Amino acid sequence: MSKDSKEHQEIFQSAVIYQVYPKSFCDSTGSGTGDIKGIISKLDYLENLGVNYIWFNPIFSSPGEDNGYDVANYYSIDPMYGTMEDVEELIKEAGQRGIYLMFDMVFNHTSTECEWFKKAIAGDLYYQDFYIFKNGSSSNTPPNNWQSKFGGSAWEYIPQLDKYYLHLFSRGQADLNWDNPAVREECAKIVNFWIAKGIKGFRFDVVNLLSKNEYSDDPYGLDGRQYYTDGKNIHKYIHELNEASFGQFPEVVTVGEMSSTTVENCVKYTNPSSHELDMVFTFHHLKTDYKDGNKWELQPLDFIQLKKYIFQWQSALCKEDGWNALFWNNHDQPRSLSRFGDEGRYWKESATMLATCIHLLRGTPYVYQGEELGMTNAGFTRIEQYEDIESRNMYDILLNRGISKNEVLHILQQRSRDNSRTPMQWTPGIEAGFTSGDPWLSVNPNHVTINAESQVNDPSSIFTYYKHLIALRHEMPIIQKGDIQSLYEDDPHIFGYKRCLKDDELIVLCNFDKCETMVKLPSHEDYELLLSNYEAVSESCATETPHESLYTSSVIKDNVILRPYEALVCIKKR
């Protein structure tokens, strides 16, 4: 099998990947933070769900300023999570259940506690060239006006060197200099080390920021991203990493996290002939409730724009043989159910509708822990409840801009990354069964009703619905490889699309609204119901709606009325 072979592509086309946020998944010791042994104890749960890979957020040694995205040592496991032996056991135990592990490689920056950085600031010139040190533009002024993505200047002054270093993220995350071949070699070495341990997947953190073009002032007073996003050598550097490490191992799957990227670049990142990555995470669709692109200004979801972005990527990557990672949720995003669905009356319907919508697109679906249970936003009401560095920084910044405390807390309730980081809800019991100690981040009180224990054996639960969706991807070539075409692009409520493979056709219809909506099917042919997120219609409304025929004969024709947050998946009858 070679890296651009059909066999390699089939691995990730048929796979579903589950994301574990290790700090919040399962605590086996009572420390209040999740750990590797806790994850091992839940492998049966993940096997039952049917996922193929587990992506872990970084578990390497780290001071934890950005919860592990500030790596101090890429070859060692943070004691908070366990030991190297624990990881070896995890690889073995997961492998026995047919599950592979995907590690999160943070190569845009290291922690300032990393040996490389410590040597650099102690005066070692070899290691100074590992980072981006620059002179100030004048005394007491940073080299340029770039802003850190977590707020404030992207430069920090080191008095003993009389220079500034670049940190696109927090002060404790110093950007690596990828123009230095020694940095590129070190990173390839790290990947190879973990492949030798048995890791079969890699997610590369903000990987399209590695190549910086130049260090000029941002003329628009923005954060400077135009100078380092999809930079001039980025394809060369990713290709080189591929050749020097994972590209030698066709069973290894890769995904790049792309910050503010373009479709053209994503085609290049993922087209098999480029020998770069298998797939990309892009975020345009998750900014359609940002006012003027600003995460910290709220606006209602622009649903038409959301569809536009998703289909722009879907169709370009389909046409040009690229590949998407499909997701609504991750550890940086508020819970999609609270954001795009209805966590009240239509909790189950909207959770399963969102799942249907994302899972049947063309790409590889990712399930973020707790999503399969319908977990919701944290609902914190005090700043002391937040742990996330970005949320805490933004709290101060927004207050300084004159926004009232209540308004800032309201914004954090919608936008904070801690919304998705609350502990996994295993049981209705104390601390949701996550820990026997004091959890590092408060458990959502709704664990008494939303938890795994009540769902795993319930045939009508959100968990069971996810199992069906995952099994469908495993079984159906049309879901794995079919082309995609958008439907009803201008409809204000319906997200619809068609997947086609040879003569087969699959139609997905999702109602993003609380109201019933009538949909005219794209052709006059008969369609057969494959999946629905509603149980059979209740007696009282069975007779009049088109669902009557739908559920009694499983044939759908011409028009259907979709109920609140209803999702229907149909196959064209032959």
Q: Which residues contact 566 (CB under 8 A, 6 or more apart)?
A: 349, 353, 509, 510, 511, 532, 533, 534
The binder of ligand GLC chosen from 27, 86, 240, 332 (CB under 6 A): 332
Q: Which of residues 254-273 bind ligand GLC (CB under 6 A)?
A: 257
Task: Please report whether residue 66 would count as binding ligand GLC according to CB under 6 A.
Answer: yes
Task: State the DSSP string of 407-437.
Answer: HHHHHHHHH-GGGGTSPP---SSGGGGT-SS
Question: Whose Cβ is closer to ligand GLC: residue 169's or residue 246's?
Answer: 169
Least spacing, CB of residue 149 vs ligand GLC, in Å: 7
Least spacing, CB of residue 257 vs ligand GLC, in Å: 6
Least spacing, CB of residue 22 vs ligand GLC, in Å: 13
* Residue nearest ligand GLC by beta-carbon distance: 69
Question: Whose Cβ is closer to ligand GLC: residue 66's or residue 349's?
Answer: 66
Task: Please report whether residue 74 would count as binding ligand GLC according to CB under 6 A.
Answer: no
Question: Whose Cβ is closer to ligand GLC: residue 149's or residue 163's?
Answer: 149
Least spacing, CB of residue 203 vs ligand GLC, in Å: 9
Of the residues 66, 156, 205, 349, which is catalytic?
205
Rg (CA), the chain: 24
Least spacing, CB of residue 66 vs ligand GLC, in Å: 5
Q: Are 107 and 176 in contact (CB under 8 A)?
A: yes
Least spacing, CB of residue 255 vs ligand GLC, in Å: 12
Q: Tokens 């919860």 sit at which residue?
A: 67
Would you call 205 a catalytic residue per the annotation?
Answer: yes
Distance (Å) of CA 255 to CA 19, 105, 207: 13, 10, 9
In angstroms, rounded to a whole number, what is the distance separating the alpha carbons of residues 116 and 118? 6
273: buried, middle or exposed (CB in 10 Å: 19+, 13-18, 0-12)?
exposed
Distance (Å) of CA 568 to CA 336, 349, 473, 481, 557: 19, 12, 16, 20, 13
Binding mask 138-177 for ligand GLC (x = CB under 6 A): -------------------------------x--------
Number of residues that bind ligand GLC (CB under 6 A): 9
The binder of ligand GLC chosen from 54, 174, 176, 206 (CB under 6 A): 206
Would you call 257 a catalytic residue per the annotation?
Answer: yes
Q: Which residues contact 557 (CB under 8 A, 6 or more apart)?
A: 521, 524, 525, 526, 527, 549
Question: Whose Cβ is closer to ligand GLC: residue 331's or residue 362's?
Answer: 331
Question: Whose Cβ is closer to ligand GLC: residue 278's or residue 418's?
Answer: 418
Look at phi and psi of residue 321 and say left if phi exceeds 0, alpha if psi is from -120 to 50, else beta. left
Tell me the three state secondary structure of residue 380.
coil
Question: Whose Cβ is closer to ligand GLC: residue 28's or residue 391's?
Answer: 391
Q: Which residues contact 353 (CB under 8 A, 6 or more apart)?
A: 341, 510, 511, 512, 533, 565, 566, 567
Tell me the three state secondary structure of residue 211.
coil
Q: Tokens 């819970």 sit at which residue?
A: 335
The binder of ligand GLC chosen from 27, 35, 65, 205 (CB under 6 A): 205
The binder of ligand GLC chosen from 77, 99, 106, 507 (CB under 6 A): 106
Q: Which of residues 436-465 bind ligand GLC (CB under 6 A)?
A: none
In three-state form (DSSP H/G/I as H, E/B as E, the rest C), the secondary structure along 21-50 is CHHHCCCCCCCCCCCHHHHHHCHHHHHHHC
Of the residues 70, 156, 240, 257, which is catalytic?
257
Least spacing, CB of residue 346 vs ligand GLC, in Å: 29
Phi, psi of 52, rounded to the nearest 5 degrees: -105, -30
Task: Please report whether residue 69 would count as binding ligand GLC according to CB under 6 A.
Answer: yes
Task: Please report whether residue 103 would count as binding ligand GLC according to CB under 6 A.
Answer: no
Token pair recorded at residue 549: 């025929």
Question: Whose Cβ is closer to ligand GLC: residue 257's or residue 343's?
Answer: 257
Residues of this chain that bind ligand GLC (CB under 6 A): 66, 69, 106, 169, 205-206, 257, 331-332
Known catalytic residues? 205, 257
